[in-house]
Structure 1
């Protein structure tokens, strides 16, 4: 498969792109997987994810780790970065943000498997960790631990 055909429909890569106004307005893009049929894991880490508390409007911060085993499609990373950045002014609870991101990627990519870990920093003195996955991980694929320790505070 030539690279011209893989990237022909991308609209955001290679140029200046504004941050979308909301996650709903963000355009997630996909490209054909040039290694389709070969099981492997892709990991995206967003250690500075932000959203807003839907009640107070105060910022919330998380370390997100997204792992997926692609099928026929890969997510284009710049579009993913812009999509995640669109949560900066979006009010939603931690659980809704984390699970919504996972479901949107599943709807876009139809991966063999996906999991997302949302490791949220304390709000009101209590950290909240949220995990979503689509089922059992494929046995033939090495999927490492997400490597994010539980919150320990300053100790």
Structure 2
């Protein structure tokens, strides 16, 4: 059991309510026990929801987050709660996608991170947003994000 890795966590193993906003969400991290090894971690959130800042109508996206950890790993329950906190948050697709990437980079200081926001169409036009923290690491297998261009995505 690696309890020393989880000693400072406040949400894992606890009943936790969904934060009301991304600003209220607590993202947590744990030490990477394989920090000397280059590897890619992927989180996929196919039911991401936020609100249009102009109409208040819901917007939906399929998010794919890839990162090459350094000293830290994101604690997955805190990430789920953070992503869920966008449910009542009004922001454009571009701002939601990039702000998630930037917040993770600030928390984790990864060797590399990219996020793909594949937004479902409203008004007939999907808006897909891509951001990465730097050049893709050489010599490391980084798989395609696997989300096809919009053709009735699902």
What TM-score comes out, normalization by structure 1 length? 0.97
1:4-41 C-alpha deviation (Å, 9 max, x unpaired): 22111001001210000100000000000000010000
1:137 Cα shift?
Answer: 1.3
Could you say which residue in structure 2 is the equivalent of 1:144?
143
Match status 1:67 vs 2:61: no
1:123-150 C-alpha deviation (Å, 9 max, x unpaired): 1110000000011111121110000001
How many residue pairs get aligned? The number is 153
In the TM superposition, structure 1's runs of 4+ consecutive aligned residues that sit over 4 Å from their partners are none
Counterparts of 1:39-118 in structure 2, within 5 Å, are: 39-118=38-117
What TM-score comes out, normalization by structure 2 length? 0.97
What residue ranges of structure 1 are gaps of 5+ in the alignment? none
Give the Cα separation in 1 of the matches to 2:41 and 2:120. Answer: 24
What residue ranges of structure 2 are gaps of 5+ in the alignment? none
CA contact (8 A) 1:39 1:140 kept: no
1:42-86 C-alpha deviation (Å, 9 max, x unpaired): 000000000000000000000000000000000000000000000
* RMSD between aligned residues: 1.0
Secondary structure in structure 1 of the residue aligned to 2:91: coil
